[in-house]
Amino acid sequence: MSEMGGVIARVEPGSIADEVGLRAGDEVLAINGHPLRDIVDYRFYGAEEWLEILVRQDGEEVIYEIEREYGQELGIEFTAHVFDGIRTCDNHCPFCYLKGMPPGLRPSLYIPDDDYRLSFLFGNFITLTNLNESDWHRLAEQRLSPLYVSIHATDLTLRCRLMGNLSAPDVLAQIRRLAALGIQIHAQIVLVPGWNDGEHLEHSVADLAALYPAVQSIAIVPVGLTRYHRGRLRLYTPGEAQAILAQVAPWQANFRRRYGVTLVHLSDEWYLLAGQPLPTAETYDGFPQIENGVGLVRQFLDEWQAVRRHVKSTRHNAECTMVCGTLIAPLMQKVTDELSALTGTVVHVQPVVNEFFGETVTVSGLLIGQDVIAALRGHRLGGLVLLPRVMFDAAGERTLDDLSPSDIQTALGLPVAMAGTAAELLQAIGIAF
């Protein structure tokens, strides 16, 4: 029992937990006799109206009996979502991004998590290669759905090679087992030139599509390599990206006819690299993998078209600078040109070359604070610097190199604001719509 349990970080004032005497620093060990391994257990076993909660408080174990209305929150926040340690990855993928990470970033970025609980909670991608029978029993009991799974290839021999793991199990058999439990899957294929593309990609997509609706979506993402990568892999060229688009388009049309959904989606990078327009919003099936870079640009563009009709055509006469990665810079320039024509606001689009990871890393989400600061110094910036929200953590507090927005503001000597949507962009500049 002592190995389980979560430490309370905060108790909501006036909540049930507050009323019974729970406080920060207490350790919640079990609910109704079930030891707690993580916040999933806490929510699952704590869903009853009558609760017997075992707590370690001031070194002593105390039982609190609580009766509450169904669905009424206890008012507890924990210091971590996983109480018994994060399940780490036992694969050795040659394209693993962690192996291309330089020193000096946030410590949490170096944890090679492969934990199905984090997949359920946050949409983290897992490989299913480290599940044991105890995990399968838990999945059967708690029905943790959906899960986000890195497939890469459905051919077992090829997948073992891609994973650097000769004992990797048959992922199709695993998905069928999950489907029998009522658990849905969002799959991703990280495509590596000459490894799992071409006929291998066709085979993988067909195998996964045959498991619809258990497989709810399939995202195809190009491999990303930093300058610290020591393998013999390479990136896709614009011409190859165009070929991928052409290969996938008939599959998408076929799935829409058969299933009524597009099912297989290409990440935004493919379209930007190929210089091709992005699909319409309707083809993204509700954007199930937007956090994986699938449809994020389309969503931004559509929101811009929606809000621009309501922008007051007054001469705002402000001046600011918008930071972005080099890949999306041409598209952002078109948007800001339209904004300038409508309002008179001068927006300097400043694409930042990623010196830290290497210039082959072109997306805004992997920009670091120091590169942004170095790129902006000496430029005419106006009165405000707009930073992409995706370069910060989920809370919007820290960059990959552990700088805060206020750190960047201090270094530049100008106000900074974060923007992830068209509405946030206009609000930051102070334009009514």
Instruction: List, in order of start, the domains of the chain with CATH numbers.
Output: 6-78 (2.30.42.10), 98-292 (3.80.30.10), 301-429 (no CATH)
Chain-centroid distance of CA 34 in Å reads 31
* Residue ranges with strand state E in 12-103: 27-31, 34-35, 50-57, 60-67, 76-78
Q: Among the ranges 100-104, 386-390, 424-428, which has the highest mean pLDDT value?
A: 386-390
pLDDT for residue 14: 96
Residue from 49, 15, 9, 12 nearest 32 by CA? 49
Residue 83 has pLDDT above 80, yes or no: yes
In sequence order, the 6+-apart residues with CB closer than 8 A to the CB of 305 are none
In sequence order, the 6+-apart residues with CB closer than 8 A to the CB of 60 are none
Chain-centroid distance of CA 113 in Å reads 13
Average pLDDT over residues 246-255: 98
Residue 1 has pLDDT above 50, yes or no: no
Helices and strands, counts by H and E, the chain: 14, 15
Residue 109 has pLDDT above 70, yes or no: no
SS (H, E, C) 299-326: HHHHHHHHHHCCCCCCCCCCEEEEEEEC
Residue 417 forms beta bridges with which residues?
Answer: 386
Q: Contact at 8 Å (CB) between 312 and 400? A: no
What proportions of the chain, in percent to the nearest 5, are helix, strand and coil?
35, 20, 45
- What letter represents residue 190's amino acid? V
Q: Contact at 8 Å (CB) between 263 and 212? A: yes
**Strand, helix or coil at 149?**
strand
What letter does residue 236 receive in the DSSP assignment?
Answer: P
Q: Contact at 8 Å (CB) between 399 and 411? A: no
Angle, nearest 10°, between helix axes 405-412 and 369-376? Answer: 20
Pairwise CA distance, residues 174 & 183, whole Å? 11
Residue 241 has pLDDT above 70, yes or no: yes
Average pLDDT value over all residues in the chain? 93
pLDDT for residue 105: 73
Residue 111 has pLDDT above 80, yes or no: no
pLDDT for residue 221: 98
pLDDT for residue 327: 94
pLDDT for residue 228: 79
Residue 323 forms beta bridges with which residues?
Answer: 350
State the alpha helices, DSSP H only, in 27-153: 39-45, 116-122, 133-142
The helix (H) or strand (E) run that includes residue 386 is strand 385-388
Residue 71 has pLDDT above 60, yes or no: yes
Pairwise CA distance, residues 142 & 153, whole Å? 28
**Strand, helix or coil at 417?**
strand
226 — pLDDT class (breaks 50, 70, 90): confident
pLDDT for residue 2: 45
Average pLDDT over residues 347-357: 94
Longest dimension (CA), the chain: 68
Residue 215 forms beta bridges with which residues?
Answer: 185
pLDDT for residue 318: 85
Residue 22 has pLDDT above 80, yes or no: yes
Pairwise CA distance, residues 422 & 414, whole Å? 22
Cis peptide before 146 (omega within 30 of 0): yes
β 76-78/125-126 pair status: unpaired
Pairwise CA distance, residues 57 & 52, whole Å? 15
**pLDDT over 70 percentage in the chain:** 96
pLDDT for residue 202: 98
Query: What are the distances in angstroms from CA 330 to CA 247, 301, 304, 306, 414?
Result: 25, 13, 15, 20, 25
Residue 259 has pLDDT above 60, yes or no: yes
Residue 3 has pLDDT above 70, yes or no: no
